[in-house]
Amino acid sequence: MPAQPMSVNELEDTAVTIRKDIIEMISTAKAGHPGGSLSAADIVTALYFRIMRVDPDNPDRPDRDRFILSKGHACPVWYAALAERGFFDKKHLGTLRRLNSILQGHADMRKTPGVDMTVGSLGQGISAGLGMALSGKLRKKDYHVWVIVGDGECQEGSVWEAAMAGPRWKLDNFTVIVDKNRLQNDAFVDEVMPVDPLAEKWRAFNWNVVEIDGHDMRQVVDGLEHAAATKGGPTVVIAHTIKGKGVSFMENVPKWHGAAPNAEETKIALSEIIGARK
């Protein structure tokens, strides 16, 4: 079922394609969320091209690993990875956010092949993933459930209700990845409502905690593989990331949470993304 798992070098190349597709998609749609898509790009690439057992020809295959992008506004990164992995034709990327497109502004499980959970209302994804993981345990299936949440999203109380339940059910088939890019929509998380110390919080909820640089592909792969192999309870991977990573004028700038680049900005963004890999 897995494609040949990619090497770190191949994953780095693929992440360039994913970042290009994110920018092109949002530029064409003239709307969308580039910042949080780019911060998650390396993690999502590693999941779809090395870590997860998924089957693009049979998206609902019962033994597939499950993935939920709980920070659903960042779905361009999800769509780019699904298309690149072969879940649907890449031509759909040009229809992002259009009426009746399979690629809505927030991912819809009824519309997009490979999407197992509708997202967009922050704070829901961990609970949904937890249910999938618990179901897997009860039915003695060996799939793994992966959920990405935002750091701003960690302000939601429901995140911590789900966090309490994971160790209770010893869900070692369950991994949460926090995209800790330090920003939420209009400002830095620390200014709005600090969530730190995040690692200590998860530890206090009895999770195994791993911290990685979310843009160092070797660390991303090692962290995710460690999470998949850890037995006895769930793991949280705290990924230190940069919002807008790969496009200089977007990095760490709150405006690029939810704004589309114009034609000139798109040109610069694409040349920076491609140039970084040369």
Ligand X SMILES: Cc1ncc(C[n+]2csc(CCOP(=O)(O)OP(=O)(O)O)c2C)c(N)n1
Residue nearest to ligand X (CB): 150
Q: DSSP string of 214-256?
A: TT-HHHHHHHHHHHHH--SS-EEEEEE--TTTT-TTTTT-GGG
Selected binder of Mg ion within 181, 208, 219, 241 (CB under 5 A): 181
Q: What DSSP assignment string belongs to 130-147? A: HHHHHHHHHTT----EEE
Tell me if 162 contacts ligand X by CB under 6 A: no
Is 21 exposed, middle or buried (CB count within 10 Å of its CB: 0-12, 13-18, 19+)? buried
User: How far is the C-alpha of 94 from the C-alpha of 96, rounded, in Å?
Assistant: 6
- Count the site residues for ligand X by CB under 6 A: 21
The option from Mg ion, ligand X, none interacting with 122 (CB < 5 to 8 A, set by class) reads ligand X
Q: Which is nearer to ligand X, 39 or 112 (CB)?
A: 39
Return the DSSP state at 2: P
198 has which bridge partners?
Answer: none
**Contact with Mg ion (CB under 5 A) among 152, 223, 234, 246:** 152
Site for ligand X contains 108 (CB under 6 A)? no
Contact string 175-214 vs ligand X (x = CB under 6 A): ----x-x-xxx-----------------------------
Distances in Å between the Cα of 199 and the Cα atoms of 93, 196, 220, 239 are 36, 8, 17, 11
Q: Is 152 in the site for ligand X (CB under 6 A)?
A: yes
Of the candidates 50, 64, 73, 245, which one interacts with ligand X according to CB under 6 A?
Answer: 73
| Amino acid making up residue 186 | D
In this chain, which of 16, 27, 34, 36 binds ligand X, going by CB under 6 A?
A: 36
Judged by the rule CB under 6 A, the positions of this chain that interact with ligand X are: 35-36, 39, 71, 73-74, 120-123, 150-153, 179, 181, 183-185, 243, 257
Judged by the rule CB under 5 A, the positions of this chain that interact with Mg ion are: 150-152, 181, 183
